[in-house]
Amino acid sequence: MKRLPLIGFFLGIFCSSGQESTINPTYGNDIAMNASHLMVDQSAYLIYENAFSKNFSAGIGVWYGRYGLNSRNFNDGYGKYTRDYGITPYGRWYVRGNQRNSFFLQIFTSLYGGRSNEVRRRTTTEGYGVYRRETENYTNLALGMGMGQKFLLFKKRISLELMLGLGGDIIAEYYEDFGVSVAQSGINLGFRF
């Protein structure tokens, strides 16, 4: 009879220590970098994400490319336009919650800008039409939607994300050749804290 309380005591300690080890800490912040942008065109796309709940989060991405402010060659970039920067706030809904791997839907807006290099017709003071190649700065705003899959690795501290999102311009259509002005895609590697 004396063994029964002793066995119960050790069983209680064993069960409570087992429960503590299965509890995983929740990390609400994620800092990531888009690895595919870095590998393909040597541009940097940094992302910060904050989880409000198990299913919803919001974040912001900042992009700067090698065809940036110091680039003079328009043939390297998008033809007659360069894209110098992009700021992309977004909101996400994780379908199965922020688990080890979860599918998500995303809505985003993108404020981006750069320079245009086009031939424009100008009228002189005498009234003659003259065509000149001019370089001007532009800023644009786009809305879009995306989807992806997020994997949490190494005790949920490292995040790996695969995503694809497409968006269209609100202010003006600068990329008439493509039809889609903003595309978010790639492989994001991040650290959660």
Higher-pLDDT residue of 138 and 16 is: 138
DSSP, res 14: H
Residue 165: give its domain's CATH number.
Answer: 2.40.160.20
Domain-embedded: residue 37: yes
Domain-embedded: residue 118: no
Domain-embedded: residue 67: yes
Domain-embedded: residue 8: no
In this prediction, residues 69-93 reach a mean pLDDT of 71
Residue 180 phi/psi, 5-degree rounding, is: -115, 120
What's the domain count of the chain? 1
pLDDT value at residue 192: 92
Domain-embedded: residue 176: yes
In this prediction, residues 85-106 reach a mean pLDDT of 88
In this prediction, residues 53-81 reach a mean pLDDT of 71
List residues bridging with 69 in a β-sheet: none
Global pTM?
0.72
Q: How far apart are CA 149 and CA 5, in angstroms?
A: 50
pLDDT at 116 over 80: no
pLDDT value at residue 20: 39
54-63, 66-75, 148-157: least confidently modelled range: 66-75
Q: Which residues of 150-181 are buried (b: 16+ CB within 10 A; e: fewer)?
A: bebeeebeebbbebebebebeeeebbeeeeeb
Domain-embedded: residue 79: no
Domain-embedded: residue 143: yes
Domain-embedded: residue 130: no
Domain extent, residue 98, equals 26-72+84-110+139-192
Q: How far apart are CA 148 and CA 23, in angstroms?
A: 27
Question: Exposure of 114 by Cβ count < 10 A (0-12 exposed, 13-18 middle, 19+ buried)?
Answer: buried
